[in-house]
Chains A and B, each alone.
Chain A
Amino acid sequence: MTRRRRAGNPRRRRRVGALAASLATAGSLLVACGGSSGGPVKLTFYDQPGSATATQANADACTKASGGRYKVDYQKLPTDADQQRLQLVRRMAAHDSTVDIMGLDVTWEAEFAEAGWAEPWTGANATKAKADQLPGPLATATYQGKLWAVPYNSNTQLLWYRGDLVKKAPTSWDQMIQQAQQLKAAKKPYYIEEQGFQYEGMTVWFNSMVASAGGTILNDAGTKVALGPPALLALETMKKLATTVADPQLANAKEDDGRLAFESGVAAFEINYPFVWASMQKNKPKANGVDLAKNFKYAPFPAVKAGSPAKSTIGGIDLAVSPYSKHKQLAFDAAVCLAGKTNQLIGATQGGLPPTLKSLYDKPPKDFVKQYPFYKIVYRQLLNAAVRPQTPAYQSVSIAISHALSPPAKINPEKTLTSLKGQISDALDSKGLIP
């Protein structure tokens, strides 16, 4: 209500004042007259705050491009992904008509689709949304054959390493661990940074490992546990890392802990998202006289199994339209605009978010190449990405995974795999408690 008041014209503002005595009446009247007062329709767009400047620029650009048809009002969601989802879910469960466009994390689509909290994209809308999109990001927005959102930005983890310590980038996890052990023996910085805290990042790690070992967590329909031998190999590799050359902080490490550790000079390798590159160039840390920024090198996500291509888990945001929006078609149009080429380029250069559009990688603009010298690796990884399990029960599945694998040093591959299968099964049936 207050939001409307702030954006409203003077006439509406006076009306609010007059009706302040009766909140309920004032509220319903305001809803009733929202948008009917001429001028552009206000479309409220909820998205994560991590790249707020770029997102705001996108919103303004689309407002302008609409030629007065609509105004995109960007509202920030909290920093924490669980809190973001909670805010949106509460509003959807309450059939809130003040939400028009939602920035969904790539793991929420199935849940929102199943619960009826996202409007499906069909016909011309779907065609526009799919144009130029890479297959990896598009897969995250698709559930049971239908499109539920338009990919807005993406993310993928690369291998970052110290050029002064490592001559040739490892191509597999075994190689990387071996190189780190040699560095350790030579009394040089050797830690490998990964995300081993009990949270979504742990699931991302496991998913990448299973996919790289040639398997999946769930079957294709997302209804049953798959796992099997690839998962066993994944768990063995994770345990090997955790018990040898990982940062001792592994069990407590999130993305930013890896970045900080690497910038402090204790690590030789780091698996992380491209934000670490921008930070390294900005902070230019020195450790024992070594200019870390100069020696900051990148390589593709390492392979787990010989002969099986490495697959890094895909992240990012897809834009969905709320089924309770009063202006669905305008919201579809605005979402397509937000996810368009110029806006994705703004997101990439100002917000550090990898784009989802093929043409941006095929003919990259100069400032994109400058900020993303590793764009080719990102591109290849997005073409051949690992998508996280697509099931409405994803959150429970993910919690079951991160809970079963925490702390990583305590993984007992065969036993962990058995208990993991049981827990994921329960989560899929929404049986029992989540830990």
Chain B
Amino acid sequence: MAISAKQKVGWSVTNLVVIAWALYAVWWLVALSFKTPASITDGGSFWPTSWSLENYRGIFKLGEFKRSLINSIGIAIISTVIAVILATMAAYAIARLRFPGKGLLIGMSLLIAMFPQISLVTPLFNIERTLHIFNTWPGLIIPYMTFSLPLAIYTLSAFFREIPWDLEKAAKMDGATPAQAFRRVIAPLAAPGIFTTAILVFIFCWNDFLFSISLTSTTASRTVPAELGFFTGNSQFEQPAGSIAAASVIITIPIIIFVLLFQRRIVSGLTSGAVKG
């Protein structure tokens, strides 16, 4: 079908409008992070009048920010790995096997996903104090992986249902046990889905704010979203907008990288489970 020039222009304009809507606010935050304290009150200009790395230098001079960045990365990766392993096993069972109690499992996940998280913070704090894992990496990894499990199981079981499972049957006919069929046939086929789920879970863990401000107290385990609450200006009343913007930009970078590299996967991960029945 021939595409008329008019159509092309029309779509270009539409696309540009959508992209501007999605990215303008993010760009503006980036611009803000490059403004100097003196030029910050420039009425919200789109382009800094004078570019400065001062804010970035400032936050990286603080050992605390670097430390929280390491915490963020480490905790998110470990939580993601564990959550995805557990979810893979459960999702496989849900998608492929017949066993009683499945409804209960699904109901429980629903409950966890729907319960207001703020009400879980205080009891979790008390438990973690008792177990001496408050303000440690495990203290955040455990809630992160738990609360991302529903999302992970949901996405993965959707992926698993699309795997050509005749192959599994063939493997079983060749004498493989269900466990072997899982390991040798399904697992490799499931890898793309698992990878996609891992990205979604990572974003979920990376994003958390509430648990991090509640279950940490020092830089031993505090992640960047919570660390933003510790940024100070020259005095206790000054709001360091520039440094907070710079830190926000830093923690947005991994998201941008993921999105650029794995756009297709993320889209399929978000959509496949929900719709394709």
Contacts and interface: CB of A to CB of B under 8 A. Distances in A.
Given A49-B232, A75-B218, A2 B238 contact: no
Interface stretch (B10-18, B133-141, B192-200): B133-141
| Chain A interface residue number, banded | 35 or more
B131 A24 contact: yes
Given A83-B213, A278-B235, A26 B229 contact: no
A217 to B, nearest CB: 23
Given A1-B136, A2-B220, A3-B135, A50 B236 contact: yes
Contact of B221 (A2, A96, A273, A279): A2
Contact of A78 (B38, B135, B230, B234): B230
A419 to B, nearest CB: 28
Contacts of B232: 49-50, 52, 79
A94 B217 contact: no
B238 to A, nearest CB: 5
Contacts of B125: 90, 94
Given A79-B232, A264-B41, A275 B131 contact: no
A255 B237 contact: yes
A352 B235 CA distance: 7
A31 B129 CA distance: 12
Interface in B112-170: 122, 125-126, 129, 131-133, 135-136, 138
B136 A48 contact: no
B188 interface: no
A49 B230 contact: yes
A96 B229 contact: no
| Chain B interface residue number, banded | 20 to 34
Interface string A35-54: 00000000000001111100
Nearest to B234: A279
Nearest to A261: B41
A256 interface: yes
Contacts of B234: 275, 278-279, 282, 352
Interface in A8-56: 23-24, 26-28, 30-31, 48-52
A75 B232 CA distance: 14
A278 B129 CA distance: 41
B10 to A, nearest CB: 42
Given A94-B126, A96-B129, A79 B229 contact: yes
A23 B138 contact: yes
A283 B129 CA distance: 45
A79 B132 contact: no
Contacts of A240: none
B254 interface: no
A28 B131 CA distance: 9
B204 interface: no
Contacts of A80: 229
Interface string B48-68: 000000000000000010000
A24 B237 contact: no
Query: Which of B41, B217, B218 has the most chain A CB atoms inside 10 A of its CB?
Result: B217
Nearest to B238: A256
A87 B234 CA distance: 23
Given A1-B135, A91-B217, A96-B129, A275 B236 contact: yes
B131 A27 contact: yes
A167 interface: no
B235 A27 contact: no
B132 A28 contact: yes
Interface in A44-73: 48-52
Nearest to A28: B132
Contacts of A26: 132
A282 B233 CA distance: 13
A273 B217 contact: no
Contacts of A254: 237
A273 B229 contact: no
B237 A275 contact: yes
Interface string B202-217: 0000000000011001
Contacts of A168: none
B235 A51 contact: yes
Contacts of A87: 217
B231 interface: yes
B209 to A, nearest CB: 12
B37 interface: yes
A30 to B, nearest CB: 8
A273 B235 CA distance: 10
Given A3-B220, A90-B125, A275 B132 contact: no
A50 B214 CA distance: 20
A285 B135 CA distance: 43
Query: Which of A2, A49, A52, A275 has the most chain B CB atoms inside 10 A of its CB?
Result: A2
Contact of A273 (B38, B220, B233, B237): B237
A78 B236 contact: no
A6 interface: yes
Contacts of B217: 75, 87, 91
A30 B136 CA distance: 14
23 contacts: A1-B132, A1-B135, A2-B220, A2-B221, A6-B220, A24-B132, A26-B132, A27-B131, A28-B132, A31-B132, A49-B230, A50-B235, A76-B64, A79-B230, A79-B236, A80-B229, A94-B125, A256-B237, A256-B238, A263-B41, A278-B235, A279-B235, A352-B234
Interface of A: 1-3, 6, 23-24, 26-28, 30-31, 48-52, 75-76, 78-80, 83, 87, 90-91, 94, 96, 254-256, 259-260, 263-264, 272-273, 275, 278-279, 282-283, 285, 351-352
Given A79-B231, A272-B237, A275-B234, 7 more contacts: A50-B232, A50-B237, A94-B126, A256-B237, A275-B236, A283-B37, A283-B38
Which 6 A-B residue pairs are closest in the complex by CB-CB distance? A27-B132, A50-B236, A275-B235, A2-B220, A255-B237, A78-B229
